Amino acid sequence: MKYILKNADFFDGEKFKSGDVSVCGEAASFGVFGNSDADIIDASGLCVLPGFIDVHVHFREPGFSYKETIKTGSMAAAAGGYTDVCTMPNLKPVPDSAENLAKQEAIIKESAVVGVHPYGSITKGENGAELSDMEALAQRVVAFSDDGRGVQNDEIMLLAMKKSRELNKLIAAHCENNSLLNGGYIHDGAYAAAHGHKGISSESEFSQIARDIALIRETGAGYHVCHVSTKESVELIRKAKAEGLDITCETGPHYLLLSDKDILEDGRFKMNPPLRSEEDRMALIDGIKDGTIDMIATDHAPHSEEEKSRGLSGSAMGVVGLETAFPVLYTGLVKTGIINMSELIRLMHVSPKKRFCIDSSFNTGSFTVFDLNKKYKIDPGLFKSKGRSSPFAGLEVFGKCLMTFYKGELVWQENMM
């Protein structure tokens, strides 16, 4: 199919320019080229942006398809402007061998509407005791992670880093020291103290980051920290970068825009790591502004309605985010002047593409189209994801995704599916 988007505002990474965008096969360009039989789309007043890349999502299939499938997850991605996502390995079976990975790959091939790039697990069964078959997985996975669990054993993480460096693959670490959790389920801060909840200490996160930074020094491995949430974590990573270590990190939209002062007695405010203090949130803002934090990832983690209806203490950890990430970030960070559009595109496209070696670009026909002036309230009932639990439900935002193209194919159009 050929398309011409007439009179679009095209963002080239630094500035907007107005004109037509042509799509033919797995290619796109600014301007019109030989598309006499193209489908003409009036894009007046609309903004063409690079397709977003999320390096941290949970699509739950195989094993937990009642929460999400690769089909519904990838549709949610497309509806949020994402053209590529990286799926975490807490599945059944865990992709810890070529045989187990093949089950996920078959479903991706059959049902994904955007680029879905699987992680391989660091350890067998994500049990932290024995390395996965990293060598057999390396050419078929985007990186290695045991996300959902921190690798508790220092020696296992050391071996994983040595092997990952040998294979030229990243370790993407969920940093959490189980000995410091103390049964907590929200941040160990003012809200927990005032409402009688058990708190998760900040040290449970940053102490394991400190351990792993020491292991990076020893091994030279490429290392990426998942969902950074504390001020201490930001400072540790800032110093490690200044030292020249091969380290990057991500944070999530909810950690940048919410803190424990925003928590309500509702499972949609429960995720891991938890919403931290306002001081932590401001440190994360500083981290995205000075480049310490390289990218924003949603940690899209859908659960059933029943699993998220048990309040803060009983609900499952995790919230959805693919369909809300850009509008909440654009509204909360760009329109308020905290960062500019170029910086947001760096966080949502440029840095994840580069760090995780994902072949996605406007030129290859992968991009998204937004109405940046469209104002609306976030309604989880309209999500394409099976998950409905969002801390941003009811929030008034700007920026509506109207179309997403993946490799030249129109995979999302508002009201078309």
Q: Using one digit for the tens of pLDDT, what is the confidence trace for 276-291?
A: 999 999 999 999 999 9
| Token pair 């990057």: residue | 248
Q: 203-219 vs 231-242: helix axis angle to the nearest 10?
A: 10
Among candidate residues 294, 299, 359, 371, the one labeled active-site is 299
Strand partners, 101: none
State whether the Cα torsion 365-367-371-377 is positive or negative.
positive
Structure confidence at residue 416 (pLDDT): 47
pLDDT per residue over 42-65, tens digit each?
999 999 999 999 999 999 999 999
Going by their DSSP bridges, the two strands 199-200 and 186-187 should be labelled as: parallel
**Where do the domains of the chain lie?**
2-42, 51-360
What end-to-end distance do the CA atoms of the chain give, in Å?
18
Strand partners, 412: 404
Q: Using the 8-state DSSP alphabet, how is residue 60 labeled?
A: -
Whether the CB-CB separation of 95 and 118 falls below 8 Å is answered with yes
Between 25 and 105, the higher pLDDT residue: 105
299 is catalytic: yes
Between 244 and 34, the higher pLDDT residue: 244
pLDDT band at 265 (very low <50, low <70, confident <90, very high): very high
pLDDT per residue over 224-237, tens digit each?
999 999 999 999 99
- pLDDT above 80 for 91: yes
- C-alpha to C-alpha distance for 338 and 348, rounded to whole angstroms: 16
- C-alpha to C-alpha distance for 140 and 346, rounded to whole angstroms: 26
Each residue of 386-412: b (16+ CB within 10 Å) or e?
Answer: bbbbbbbbebebbbbbbbbbbbbbbbb
CA 17 to chain centre: 28
pLDDT per residue over 316-356, tens digit each?
999 999 999 999 999 999 999 999 999 999 999 999 999 99
Q: Containing H/E element for 23?
A: strand 16-24
Fold designation for 51-360: TIM Barrel (3.20.20)
pLDDT per residue over 99-147, tens digit each?
999 999 999 999 999 999 999 999 999 999 999 999 999 999 999 999 9
pTM: 0.97
